[in-house]
Amino acid sequence: MNSENIMRMNTRAFSILGVVLLIGGGLFAQSPNPKIKRILDQAQLKYQVDKDGDFKMTFGLENERSQLVYVMSGTEEFSGEPIVEIWSPAYKGAEISQETLVQLAVDGQKRKIGGWQLTTGSETIYAVFKAKVPLAALTPEFMRAVCGGVASVADEMEQAVMHGSDDF
Protein backbone atom coordinates (compact mmCIF):
# COMPACT_ATOMS: atom_id res chain seq x y z
CA MET A 1 0.00 0.00 0.00
CA ASN A 2 1.53 3.31 -1.02
CA SER A 3 1.43 6.57 0.93
CA GLU A 4 -1.32 8.03 -1.30
CA ASN A 5 -3.71 5.17 -0.42
CA ILE A 6 -2.87 5.50 3.27
CA MET A 7 -3.60 9.26 3.13
CA ARG A 8 -6.91 8.60 1.37
CA MET A 9 -7.90 6.04 4.05
CA ASN A 10 -6.92 8.41 6.88
CA THR A 11 -8.87 11.26 5.27
CA ARG A 12 -11.95 9.03 4.93
CA ALA A 13 -11.60 7.84 8.53
CA PHE A 14 -11.36 11.43 9.81
CA SER A 15 -14.37 12.43 7.70
CA ILE A 16 -16.44 9.59 9.14
CA LEU A 17 -15.25 10.46 12.65
CA GLY A 18 -16.24 14.11 12.08
CA VAL A 19 -19.76 13.13 10.99
CA VAL A 20 -20.12 10.82 14.00
CA LEU A 21 -18.99 13.60 16.35
CA LEU A 22 -21.38 16.11 14.78
CA ILE A 23 -24.30 13.74 15.05
CA GLY A 24 -23.23 12.58 18.50
CA GLY A 25 -22.99 16.16 19.76
CA GLY A 26 -26.70 16.55 19.15
CA LEU A 27 -27.40 13.28 20.92
CA PHE A 28 -25.70 14.46 24.09
CA ALA A 29 -27.76 17.64 24.42
CA GLN A 30 -29.96 17.28 27.49
CA SER A 31 -33.73 17.42 27.39
CA PRO A 32 -35.55 19.38 30.06
CA ASN A 33 -37.14 17.33 32.84
CA PRO A 34 -40.81 16.99 31.75
CA LYS A 35 -42.15 16.92 35.33
CA ILE A 36 -40.34 20.14 36.27
CA LYS A 37 -41.32 21.74 32.95
CA ARG A 38 -44.99 20.95 33.61
CA ILE A 39 -44.82 22.53 37.10
CA LEU A 40 -43.09 25.67 35.75
CA ASP A 41 -45.69 25.94 32.99
CA GLN A 42 -48.56 25.51 35.47
CA ALA A 43 -46.92 28.14 37.70
CA GLN A 44 -46.85 30.43 34.65
CA LEU A 45 -43.14 31.12 35.12
CA LYS A 46 -41.28 32.25 32.00
CA TYR A 47 -38.04 30.39 31.39
CA GLN A 48 -35.44 29.43 28.84
CA VAL A 49 -33.94 25.98 28.58
CA ASP A 50 -30.14 25.90 28.36
CA LYS A 51 -27.98 23.32 26.55
CA ASP A 52 -27.90 21.18 29.70
CA GLY A 53 -31.71 21.04 29.83
CA ASP A 54 -31.84 23.30 32.90
CA PHE A 55 -34.39 26.10 33.30
CA LYS A 56 -33.16 29.71 33.47
CA MET A 57 -35.45 32.52 34.62
CA THR A 58 -35.06 36.24 35.20
CA PHE A 59 -37.12 37.70 38.02
CA GLY A 60 -37.97 41.40 38.07
CA LEU A 61 -37.53 42.86 41.54
CA GLU A 62 -37.92 46.20 43.32
CA ASN A 63 -35.96 49.27 42.22
CA GLU A 64 -35.75 48.03 38.62
CA ARG A 65 -33.42 45.18 39.64
CA SER A 66 -33.47 41.68 38.23
CA GLN A 67 -32.15 38.32 39.38
CA LEU A 68 -31.31 35.08 37.60
CA VAL A 69 -32.75 31.85 38.99
CA TYR A 70 -31.92 28.36 37.77
CA VAL A 71 -33.97 25.20 38.25
CA MET A 72 -31.88 22.15 37.54
CA SER A 73 -33.46 19.50 35.31
CA GLY A 74 -31.39 16.71 36.76
CA THR A 75 -32.50 15.53 40.16
CA GLU A 76 -30.69 13.71 42.94
CA GLU A 77 -32.20 11.07 45.15
CA PHE A 78 -32.68 11.30 48.89
CA SER A 79 -34.40 8.38 50.59
CA GLY A 80 -35.82 7.35 47.22
CA GLU A 81 -37.29 10.78 46.47
CA PRO A 82 -36.09 13.02 43.62
CA ILE A 83 -34.73 16.35 44.90
CA VAL A 84 -34.79 19.50 42.73
CA GLU A 85 -32.15 22.23 43.10
CA ILE A 86 -33.25 25.84 42.65
CA TRP A 87 -30.48 28.41 42.92
CA SER A 88 -29.38 31.96 42.20
CA PRO A 89 -25.91 33.59 42.18
CA ALA A 90 -25.10 36.55 44.41
CA TYR A 91 -21.30 36.86 44.33
CA LYS A 92 -18.56 36.39 41.76
CA GLY A 93 -14.89 37.15 42.28
CA ALA A 94 -11.32 35.89 42.14
CA GLU A 95 -11.30 35.68 45.94
CA ILE A 96 -13.81 36.10 48.72
CA SER A 97 -13.20 38.06 51.91
CA GLN A 98 -13.61 36.69 55.41
CA GLU A 99 -16.20 39.43 56.00
CA THR A 100 -18.30 38.17 53.06
CA LEU A 101 -18.01 34.56 54.27
CA VAL A 102 -19.26 35.58 57.70
CA GLN A 103 -22.10 37.58 56.12
CA LEU A 104 -23.15 34.50 54.09
CA ALA A 105 -23.01 32.24 57.15
CA VAL A 106 -25.02 34.61 59.35
CA ASP A 107 -27.61 35.17 56.61
CA GLY A 108 -27.94 31.42 56.04
CA GLN A 109 -28.97 30.93 59.68
CA LYS A 110 -32.20 32.88 59.21
CA ARG A 111 -33.42 31.17 56.03
CA LYS A 112 -36.27 28.66 56.19
CA ILE A 113 -35.49 26.86 52.94
CA GLY A 114 -32.08 26.90 51.37
CA GLY A 115 -28.61 28.06 52.22
CA TRP A 116 -25.45 29.57 50.82
CA GLN A 117 -22.95 27.49 48.89
CA LEU A 118 -19.62 28.36 47.34
CA THR A 119 -18.62 26.96 43.97
CA THR A 120 -15.57 27.57 41.84
CA GLY A 121 -15.04 27.75 38.12
CA SER A 122 -11.94 28.74 36.14
CA GLU A 123 -10.30 30.80 38.89
CA THR A 124 -13.61 32.38 39.97
CA ILE A 125 -15.50 31.90 43.21
CA TYR A 126 -19.30 32.07 43.20
CA ALA A 127 -21.66 32.33 46.16
CA VAL A 128 -25.10 30.96 45.31
CA PHE A 129 -28.26 30.65 47.35
CA LYS A 130 -29.63 27.17 46.79
CA ALA A 131 -32.86 25.50 47.85
CA LYS A 132 -33.18 21.71 47.56
CA VAL A 133 -36.81 20.65 47.47
CA PRO A 134 -38.48 17.25 46.97
CA LEU A 135 -40.06 17.12 43.52
CA ALA A 136 -43.27 15.75 45.06
CA ALA A 137 -43.59 18.95 47.16
CA LEU A 138 -43.35 21.30 44.18
CA THR A 139 -46.87 22.39 43.41
CA PRO A 140 -47.11 25.33 40.99
CA GLU A 141 -47.74 27.70 43.93
CA PHE A 142 -44.80 26.35 45.94
CA MET A 143 -42.52 26.48 42.85
CA ARG A 144 -43.40 30.18 42.40
CA ALA A 145 -42.77 30.85 46.08
CA VAL A 146 -39.41 29.04 46.18
CA CYS A 147 -38.14 30.61 42.93
CA GLY A 148 -39.25 34.07 44.04
CA GLY A 149 -37.74 33.60 47.49
CA VAL A 150 -34.42 32.36 46.10
CA ALA A 151 -34.33 35.37 43.75
CA SER A 152 -35.04 37.86 46.56
CA VAL A 153 -32.49 36.40 48.98
CA ALA A 154 -29.76 36.25 46.32
CA ASP A 155 -30.46 39.77 45.07
CA GLU A 156 -30.40 41.18 48.61
CA MET A 157 -27.00 39.57 49.21
CA GLU A 158 -25.71 40.64 45.80
CA GLN A 159 -26.50 44.25 46.68
CA ALA A 160 -24.69 43.91 49.99
CA VAL A 161 -21.50 42.08 48.95
CA MET A 162 -21.15 43.35 45.39
CA HIS A 163 -21.65 47.01 46.42
CA GLY A 164 -25.03 47.51 44.76
CA SER A 165 -24.25 45.80 41.44
CA ASP A 166 -27.00 44.04 39.52
CA ASP A 167 -24.88 41.61 37.47
CA PHE A 168 -27.09 38.62 38.15
Q: Residue 137 is part of a domain; what is its CATH number?
A: 3.30.1460.70
Is residue 43 included in any domain, yes or no?
Answer: yes
| pLDDT at site 1 | 55
Answer yes or no: do 46 and 2 share one domain.
no
Answer yes or no: do 86 and 142 share one domain.
yes
In Å, how far from its chain's centre is CA 113?
17
| pLDDT at site 87 | 98
| CA gap 112, 96 in Å, rounded | 25
18 in helix, strand or coil?
A: helix
Q: Consecutive sets of 10 residues in the chain, 168 residues long: mean pLDDT of each?
A: 46 40 47 96 97 96 93 95 97 94 94 94 93 97 97 95 79
Rg, the chain, Cα only:
22
| CA angle (72 as vertex; 135, 168 as ends), nearest 5 | 130
Is residue 168 included in any domain, yes or no?
Answer: no
Q: How many C-beta atoms surround the C-beta of residue 64 within 10 A?
A: 7
Answer yes or no: do 39 and 23 share one domain.
no
Answer yes or no: do 58 and 74 share one domain.
yes
Answer yes or no: do 19 and 39 share one domain.
no
| CA gap 149, 88 in Å, rounded | 10
| CA gap 150, 168 in Å, rounded | 12
Q: Which domain holds residue 7?
A: 1-29
Is residue 81 included in any domain, yes or no?
Answer: yes
Is residue 167 included in any domain, yes or no?
Answer: no
| pLDDT at site 25 | 41
Answer yes or no: do 112 and 126 share one domain.
yes
Q: How many domains does the chain have?
A: 2
46 in helix, strand or coil?
A: coil
Is residue 79 included in any domain, yes or no?
Answer: yes
